[in-house]
Amino acid sequence: METVSENRVFGGTQGVYRHAASSTNCEMTFALFLPEKAQFGTVPLLWYLSGLTCTHENAMTKAGAQAWCAEAGIAICFPDTSPRGEGVADDDAFDLGKGAGFYVNATQDPWAPHFRMWDYVTDELPALLAEHFPVDADRQSITGHSMGGHGALTAAMRLPGRFQSVSAFAPIAHPTTSDWGRKQFKAYLGEDEATWKEHDATLLMRERGFNGPVLIDQGTDDNFVDLLKPEALAEAMAARRQPGQLRLQKGYDHSYFFMSTFMEEHVAFHAEALHG
């Protein structure tokens, strides 16, 4: 593993690291903030999964999470959103290929050799962090934005017991019925729509739910709201009587201004679950 950079911030360390990933068969880059408390022992870990077109860098520099994580004494990891490099398949559209991994394991060509982001973010990268950094494998939570909100919700419900809490900012909530989902699932997973269901937060909420607290924020002025379908997830949560909140935030859009506004509340929400 190569250290790309390390900077002191809010008493802790914001690092960027690169490694050869076996799951994606290419080099991957991720960012990890460790609070000052990590100098003295293991700390809880919050995962932040980013949205379409993003890398590890977007949330690291724009979301403002480090200050609140430092105060709460928790680490936060920002993985990349897709494999990258020469030989990795891509598409001219912004919502397919590089920057648009959708946190699935692709089974179709030309995507299958590298686009295995589910294995990367739920298996390989957590094992790497546990081996090299003072993070507590038993105290982890997850959040994300848009495509990353989709990834966070599906990971939380498909991996019971892994995460203490889950939150999301404007998640793609019902991708099997949206152009942000159907297009990508068909490309990555093929025509059999039965294989898509385990990557749909609304369907997973109906069938499984989450054994822990849930917090979702959605801006009312989000220009992508018809693609995100928060109303479907709200109905599923209500039908299941899932403990949690889905809050409609008046006037907010899909940008990082929205996320940075409510990041303090999301970190506090996770800190309460992680610290018990």
Per-residue pLDDT tens over the stretch 132-171: 999 999 999 999 999 999 999 999 999 999 999 999 999 9
Kindly give the pairing relationship between strand 26-34 and strand 12-21. Answer: antiparallel
Number of other residues whose CB lies within 10 A of the CB of residue 179: 11
pLDDT digit string, tens, across residues 58-78: 999 999 999 999 999 999 999
pLDDT digit string, tens, across residues 112-121: 999 999 999 9
Residue 13's pLDDT is what? 98
Q: In this structure, what are the phi and psi dihedrals at residue 14, rounded to the nearest 5 degrees?
A: -100, 110
Question: Stretch 174-197: mean pLDDT, rounded?
Answer: 98
So which residues are the catalytic ones? 146, 222, 254
For residue 154, give the nearest of 200, 193, 119 by alpha carbon: 200
276, pLDDT greater than 90: no
pLDDT digit string, tens, across residues 15-32: 999 999 999 999 999 999
| Distance, CA of 43 to CA of 250 (rounded, Å) | 35
Domains present along the chain, CATH in parentheses? 2-275 (3.40.50.1820)
Sorted by sequence, the CB contacts under 8 Å of residue 201 that are 6+ apart come out as 150, 153, 154, 157, 171, 172, 173, 174, 175, 233
